[in-house]
Amino acid sequence: MEKDAFLWWQEAVFYHIYLRSFMDSNDDGLGDICGLISRLDYLKGSPDSLGIDAIWLSPFHPSPDNDFGYDVADYCDIDPRFGTLTDFDHLIHEAHKRDIRIMIDLVFNHSSNQHPWFKESRSSKDNPKRDWYIWRDARLGKRWPNNWESIFGGKAWEWNKATQQFFYHMFLKEQPDLNWRNKKAQEELMQTVRFWLDRGVDGFRLDVFNLWFKHQDLPDNPPRIGLRGYDRQHHIYDIDQPEMVEALAGFRNILNSYPGSVSIGEFLGNKPKIAALYCSEQQLHMVFNFDFTGCPWNPKVFQENILEWELALGDFCWPCYVLSNHDGPRRHVSRYGKRHPDQVAKVAATMLLTLRGTPFLYYGEEIGMLNVPLRRGQLVDPVSRRYYPFHSRDQGRTPMQWDATQHAGFSTGNPWLPIHPKYESRNVKSQLSDPHSVLSFYRSLLQLRRECDALRQGQFVPLQSSPKLGLAYLRSEGDNHALVALNFKGKPIRIQFDCALPHDSWKLAISSHTNSDAGIHGKEMLLKPFEAVIFFSDG
């Protein structure tokens, strides 16, 4: 790729804000837009800022909160609990002033059952909006229209007594799927896209976009072995239908008329080859890779994953990486760093911020935020309640830990989810004043990334074919090279490179250890326990 061909979103670091947990401005225990505005300087624009480039904001539309905002009751408004459209305009203004771009969530596979469209649709069989959702009779001699299952558990069909038909929902029954084959519904959704672009947003995260179309005839999915009903089917008729290509092209045309706007798709399946089908100049800019959210703490597995995505995406699609998000049962420091959370957080951050691709940080990971252990009675998310204790999303969605005051400075009201019991020792304020904290390390990494072209634009070149104890790779851009080495173990290790380095002289740019003596000696280097280092080619 030509040097000047890099686009802002390829070089940017995104920060994912789960709005209701970020900052509360009106003491109701829920994060909101004004709260976020009051914390923008933390993200960018002041000497103490973290230094991110863009925010992805989780849904803030009016919603009955069956799926905490992913059940939208009005696509063109703000839930009063989060603010007003005027607050939103203010957010855009304040963010742009600091050179932060704002991306919002588009939840277009389904709406809430409280959306006026669905209320009309279910009111009678001949209502003009009936066909905006997917209604069917049971198949002759069968109990259901087909065998499809909801990914959240149970059948994907819900009976509507008044009109004596079933409607389809891939998620909760309160989240009926929209019918993308209905042109009017499709056009109305695209109007929403224009509405937010006109208000100044810089792009969208598309919620489960590869479910928009279902096979026209709704055939049964074939069976396979699996634990839950949903896993016991091959999802060949309810996911990834060919009509997606044209729908995404229409969506992209709109984005193209707002230069600089960007899209990133969340898709079910997480297969790199499928991701590659959806990223191009006619489709999405990027598609999420969630593999890291489930990887064991094993350098070989991470490297295999990186190489698999690099190969599948090739030169035409741009990778992106995520370690934690609002759907994961556990934040990555809780997954990997039980006994050494800070050390592991620094190693993971060094990897995330030095791979070829766009990193997405999840709010709080920069202070090494951990899951909050919750009892069943404390859970509010229906999915977490259903799958407790095996899978809980609430534990990784808890309020941001700003300082050591009551409720961690998040709110003076009663927070909607409990705060981590150890927030007094793990919070933004204390870490900002500690040069060795996880937060200070993230800030330094982000600074290095901004200064070094090779870290943002360089090719990814692994230095070991089968890493066992740690990872080592180059990011190479012309004659500039950055060498990254990561020790995944709590003991000193020796990393042997399988190939000669492109340079003889290297300068240590950063180490996660204050008293590092890491150096490159021919084809090997020594690293301290959980040490992460970056070297730059010298001269």
User: What residue is closest to ligand NOJ based on CB?
Assistant: 70
> Mind spelling out the 3-state secondary structure of 470-509?
EEEEEEEECCEEEEEEEECCCCCEEEECCCCCCCCCEEEE
CB of 427 to ligand NOJ, least distance (A): 26
For the chain, helix (H) and strand (E) counts, in that order, are 15, 19
Asked, as a colleague might, if the bond just before 389 is cis with ω within 30 of 0, I would say yes
CA-to-CA separations, 508 to 351, 483, 538, in angstroms, rounded: 16, 9, 9
CB of 172 to ligand NOJ, least distance (A): 8
Contact pick of 207, 238, 240, 366 for ligand NOJ (by CB under 6 A): 207
- In 258-382, DSSP assigns E strands to 262-265, 286-287, 320-322, 358-362
CB of 185 to ligand NOJ, least distance (A): 17
Cβ closer to ligand NOJ: 331 or 503? 331
Q: Which residues are catalytic?
A: 207, 266
Cβ closer to ligand NOJ: 16 or 513? 16
Cβ closer to ligand NOJ: 168 or 442? 168
Contact pick of 171, 363, 423, 442 for ligand NOJ (by CB under 6 A): 171
- Of residues 270 through 329, those in contact with ligand NOJ by CB under 6 A are 326-327
- Of residues 104 through 163, those in contact with ligand NOJ by CB under 6 A are 107
Cβ closer to ligand NOJ: 325 or 537? 325
CB of 274 to ligand NOJ, least distance (A): 17
d(CA 431, CA 426): 7
Contact pick of 24, 53, 65, 67 for ligand NOJ (by CB under 6 A): 67
d(CA 368, CA 400): 11
Cβ closer to ligand NOJ: 326 or 420? 326
> Mind spelling out the 3-state secondary structure of 62-126?
CCCCCCCCCCCCCCCCCCCCCCCHHHHHHHHHHHHHCCCEEEEEECCCECCCCCHHHHHHCCCCC
Cβ closer to ligand NOJ: 397 or 449? 397
Cβ closer to ligand NOJ: 67 or 79? 67
For residue 429, give the DSSP letter: H
CB of 147 to ligand NOJ, least distance (A): 21
d(CA 503, CA 474): 11
Residues 6+ apart with CB under 8 A from 472: 462, 463, 464, 483, 484, 485, 486, 495, 497, 525
- Of residues 320 through 379, those in contact with ligand NOJ by CB under 6 A are 326-327
Contact pick of 106, 178, 193, 208 for ligand NOJ (by CB under 6 A): 208
Q: What radius of gyration, in Å, describes the C-alpha atoms of the chain?
A: 24
CB of 63 to ligand NOJ, least distance (A): 11
The three-class DSSP label of residue 420 is coil
Q: Amino acid letter at 414?
A: N
CB of 328 to ligand NOJ, least distance (A): 10
d(CA 124, CA 162): 8
Please give the size of the binding site for ligand NOJ, defined by CB under 6 A: 9
Backbone angles phi, psi at 520, to 5 degrees: -100, 125
> Can residue 454 be called a binding residue for ligand NOJ (CB under 6 A)?
no
Residue 174's nearest CA partner among 230, 119, 106 is: 119
Contact pick of 22, 70, 167, 363 for ligand NOJ (by CB under 6 A): 70
Under the rule (CB under 6 A), what is the footprint of ligand NOJ? 67, 70, 107, 171, 207-208, 266, 326-327
